[in-house]
Amino acid sequence: MHKNISNIVKENRFFIVFIFLMLVFRSSFADWNAVPTGSMKPTIIEGDRIWVNKLAYDLNIPFTHISLKNFADPERGDIVIFESAKAEKRLVKRIIGIPGDTVSMINNSIFLNGKPLAYKITSRHLNHIILEEKLTQSAHKIRLERPLQSRADSFTPITIPEKFYLVLGDNRNNSADSRFIGFIPRKEIIGRARHVVMSLDYNNYYLPRADRFLQKL
């Protein structure tokens, strides 16, 4: 029995090494992440597979969250992937506030360090509107469902502590984010997403969406 196992390993050693190296690569360098919900609409939609740069912030020991080297810290506007202990699953959200920032929200409008962000409506639909939100030098789009009022459309000013981040989904009325699970610990953030690798249309027999391949977020 032992000899048979040894022979199998020997005969398939190159394949085994390849699989191991691929797992190491996906664990510490880069990976892709399927997005099953619409919490980041219109930026990311259901069925998107996003590219996760795991070297954007840290070099971790493979298969762990232990950082060997810190390259950078998340910035406002970054789309991050994190393993949420509170939500008990992996989530994708946008960084709104970094350590030291004071953030509040009034009727879906964000105030950052006492100053309101700029908003511009880009399109109106029967059940939602799309706006541009200028958090950094470049604006990104957010989605507000109609009716616009919800129990999470406002919160009082709160200052973000060290090593924590405030994140929101771009689909503001349909996102389990910092308004529900609190600040995100720095150690839970595993990477940054800036591109869609590919996308499958769940409502059309899982056919690929060619227009979303390699789309920039």
Distance CA 174, CA 40 (A): 9
Residue of 39, 84, 175, 178 marked active site: 39
User: By C-alpha distance, which of 178, 176, 156, 174 is closest to 166?
Assistant: 178
Whether a cis peptide bond, with omega within 30° of 0, leads into 147 is: yes
Q: Which residues contact 175 (CB under 8 A, 6 or more apart)?
A: 39, 40, 93, 168, 169
Contact assessment for residue 83 and residue 65, using Cβ atoms and an 8 Å cutoff: yes
Look up 120 and say whether it is catalytic.
no
Residue of 28, 41, 84, 93 marked active site: 93
CA 122 vs CA 94, 95, 132, 143: distances in Å: 20, 22, 7, 10
Contact assessment for residue 128 and residue 111, using Cβ atoms and an 8 Å cutoff: no
Look up 39 and say whether it is catalytic.
yes
User: By C-alpha distance, which of 166, 207, 158, 202 is closest to 184?
Assistant: 166
Contact assessment for residue 122 and residue 132, using Cβ atoms and an 8 Å cutoff: yes
User: By C-alpha distance, which of 36, 56, 54, 55 is closest to 46?
Assistant: 36
Which residues are known to be catalytic? 39, 93
